[in-house]
């Protein structure tokens, strides 16, 4: 197959919190994302789903400019990412940092404010107070002084969430916040995401568990290197799209369930 140049991609809507056109990323010549066009609905709670190696994490990283693009454009409310850094918050996968690092939970949450403090600015008592409020929102105010390595996995995930809350962004990008957390933490995180959505923010979450997508989210983007489908969970998780994304290995028994749930 030969890719044709794409002369008529739809124009970017400046009201869309996140728009990408023709987003293409390769690692060592292997395409990871291919010609992706996507507009995130404003105030959506959006799941990014797809099989392993489908480019879900890469999609978030490419959006943030953390991986080099082979081609394509990324716009946040119609503007380049570089100008909109203070409107985006990113929650990386928990394994991406060293939890033995000498920092307290409060230190980590305060990092979310560094962008606003800017180069050379000091972290003051006011910033610490803001950070503590965010820790309180995720129920960890009592753990503010604890070294992060001595928190449980779920608590660490909530520290990351509090850090993103501290960034006070319009668009939240989260890479598998539910991975490896217990059921109580999962509910607490979900409640926070719903709060964010109610406050008019857009939340985009890479999610691994197809069974809970329809329950937790209202929109979905299905990836497998290319965009396979998007829209409301009902539209995006149709049996047809899932079969395209996951192939025959997806237990067929699952499909009707998912489709019905959607």
Partner 1 sequence: MISVQDFLLIDAPAMVTGALAALACALVGNFLVLRKQALIGDAMSHVVLPGIVVAFWVTGVISAVPMLLGALVAALVAAGLIEAIRRLGHMEPGAAMGVVFTVMFALGVVLLERSGGRDVHLDVQHALYGNLEGTLWIGADGWGSLVDPSALAELPRQLVTLAVITAVIGALIVLFFKELRLVTFDPALATALGFPAHWVNLAMTVVTAAAAVAAFEAVGSILVIAMFICPPATARMLTDRLTTQVWLSALFAVGAGLLGYLFAAFGLGWFGIDASLNAAGMIAVVAASGQVLAMLFSPRHGVIARRRAIRRSADEATAQRLA
Partner 2 sequence: MENLLDILLFGGGYNTRLVMVGAALLGAAGGMVGSFALLRKRALISDAISHATLPGVAIGFLVAFWLTGSGRNLPIIIAGAALSGALGVLAVQWIKDNTRLAEDSAIGTVLSGFFAVGIVLLSWLQGLEMGGRAGLQGFLLGAVATMTVAEAELIAGLALAIVVVSLLLFKEFKLVCFDPDYAASIGRPVRFLDLAMMGLLLILVSIGLKAVGLILVIAIVIIPPAAARFWTERLSVMVTIAIGMGAVSAYIGAGLSAAADDLPTGAVIVLVQGAMFAVSLLVAPNRGAIAAVLRTRSDRRAYAAGTLAEPDMPDRGRYPE
Q: How many residues does the chain have?
A: 262
> Residues 20, 36: contact at Cβ < 8 Å?
yes
Tokens of 205: 């979450």
Question: 187-224 burial, b for 16+ CB within 10 Å, e for fewer?
Answer: ebbbebbeebbeeebbbbbbbeebeebbebbebbbbbb
Which region, judged by CB under 8 A, interacts with partner 1, from 4-12, 60-68, 181-189, 225-233?
Answer: 60-68
239 binds, among partner 1, partner 2, none (CB under 5 to 8 A by kind): none
> Residues 112, 134: contact at Cβ < 8 Å?
yes
10 makes contact with partner 2 (CB under 8 A): no
31 makes contact with partner 2 (CB under 8 A): yes
104 makes contact with partner 1 (CB under 8 A): yes
262 makes contact with partner 2 (CB under 8 A): no
Nearer to partner 2, 10 or 52 (CB): 52
Strand order of the sheet with strand 18-27?
30-40, 18-27, 71-75
Burial of 37 (0-12, 13-18, 19+ CB in 10 A): middle
Which region, judged by CB under 8 A, interacts with partner 1, from 69-77, 120-128, 181-189, 235-243?
Answer: 120-128
43 makes contact with partner 2 (CB under 8 A): no
Give the binding-site size for partner 1 (rule: CB under 8 A).
31
80 makes contact with partner 1 (CB under 8 A): no
Residues 170-229 that bind partner 1 (CB under 8 A): none
Chain contacts with partner 1 (rule: CB under 8 A): 28, 61, 64-66, 85, 88, 90, 92, 96-98, 101-104, 107-108, 111, 114-115, 117, 119-123, 147, 149, 163, 167
């Amino acid at each position: 197959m030969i890719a044709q140049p794409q002369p008529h991609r739809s124009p970017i809507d400046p009201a869309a919190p996140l728009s990408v056109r023709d987003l293409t990323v390769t690692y060592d010549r292997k395409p990871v994302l291919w010609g992706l066009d996507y507009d995130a609905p404003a105030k959506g709670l959006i799941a990014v789903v797809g099989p392993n190696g489908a480019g879900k994490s890469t999609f978030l990283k490419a959006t943030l400019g953390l991986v080099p693009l082979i081609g394509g454009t990324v716009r946040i409310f119609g503007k380049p990412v570089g100008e909109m850094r203070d409107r985006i918050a990113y929650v990386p996968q928990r394994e991406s940092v060293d939890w033995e690092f000498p920092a307290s939970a409060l230190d980590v949450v305060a990092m979310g404010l560094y962008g606003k403090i800017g180069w050379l600015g000091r972290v003051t008592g006011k910033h610490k107070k803001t950070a503590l409020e965010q820790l309180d929102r995720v129920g960890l105010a009592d753990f503010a002084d604890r070294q992060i390595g001595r928190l449980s996995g779920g608590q660490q995930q909530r520290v990351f969430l509090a850090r993103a809350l501290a960034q006070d962004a319009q668009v939240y990008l989260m890479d598998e916040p539910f991975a490896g957390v217990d059921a109580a933490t999962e509910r607490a995180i979900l409640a926070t995401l719903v709060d964010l959505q109610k406050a008019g923010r857009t939340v985009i979450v890479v999610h691994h568990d197809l069974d809970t997508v329809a329950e937790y989210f209202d929109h979905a983007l299905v990836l497998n290197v290319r965009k396979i489908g998007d829209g409301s969970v009902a539209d995006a998780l149709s049996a047809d799209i899932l079969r395209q994304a996951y192939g025959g290995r997806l237990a067929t028994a699952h499909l009707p369930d998912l489709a019905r749930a959607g």
